[in-house]
A and B are shown apart, each in its own frame.
Chain A
Amino acid sequence: QVQLVESGGGLVKPGGSLRLSCAASGFTFSDYDMSWIRQVPGKGLEWLSYITSSSSYTNYADSVRGRFTISRDNVKNSLYLQMNSLRAGDTAVYYCARCAIFDRDAFDIWGQGTMVTVSS
């Protein structure tokens, strides 16, 4: 079945770094654009970053631009989010999401999420 599985979350100190991974299965990963979206527990959803199917174009929310880097490996069917200079405000559940065929800024498949906690 179509599935996205995130990993790499955990506890990190302010100023630290973390790399999230998202393993895709059940569909042709290289055909789809992908995004990262986060959610503070009990709060709303915030889109973070986008990458095209061929990695030719990326985009970021202002809140993470210059600190986070999105990438992908279509051979490994994997999406990544390198997070540097982490702050307490980055504490959230991080979801990878498949961008819908009908529009890259809508999301038709979501992973279960991985929790990132930034605290000293």
Chain B
Amino acid sequence: DIVMTQSPDSLAVSLGERATINCKSSQSVLYSSNNKNYLAWYQQKSGQPPKLLIYWASARESGVPDRFSGSGSGTDFTLTISSLQAEDVAVYYCQQYYSSPPTFGPGTKVDIK
């Protein structure tokens, strides 16, 4: 199984400031035949199910604000919230769908400083 790790475990950012979350996979999730990274990001607010934010490492799901962006390739990925809003307080998970079983990172908790 591909093991996903995230850093930091948690971070506190001032409103309007940038938040950056890192995700690393134990093996590459880049499929060479189509040059796509099989990596998604989810947001989970307290008491709610996860919500898909980003897929193919950088494609924003419909309806997701453009302050959320994903980047990276191969084994190293980043989710950036360019200007943190109060409603962005949540736990964020990365997930690989390159190979079965799909696996999730342990999550990064984002709070307001």
In the complex, per-residue mask of B83-113: 1 if CB is within 8 Å of any chain A CB, else 0: 0000000000101010011111111000000
Main SS at interface, chain A: strand
Q: Which of A47, A102, A113 contacts B102 (CB 8 A)?
A: A47
Report whether B49 and A111 are in contact in the complex, using a CB–CB cutoff of 8 Å. Answer: yes
Residues in B30-51 with C-beta less than 8 Å from chain A: 38, 40, 42, 48-51
Tell me whether A106 and B93 are in contact in the complex, defined as CB-CB below 8 angstroms, given that A44-B106, A45-B104 are known contacts: no
Instruction: Give the Cβ gap from B87 to chain A, nearest Cβ, in Å.
Output: 18
Report whether A110 and B50 are in contact in the complex, using a CB–CB cutoff of 8 Å. Answer: yes
Contact partners of B102 in chain A: CB under 8 A: 47, 105-106
Residues in A23-65 with C-beta less than 8 Å from chain B: 44-47, 50, 59, 61-62
A positions within 8 Å CB-CB of B: 44-47, 50, 59, 61-62, 95, 100, 102-108, 110-113
B positions within 8 Å CB-CB of A: 38, 40, 42, 48-52, 55-56, 61, 93, 95, 97, 100-107
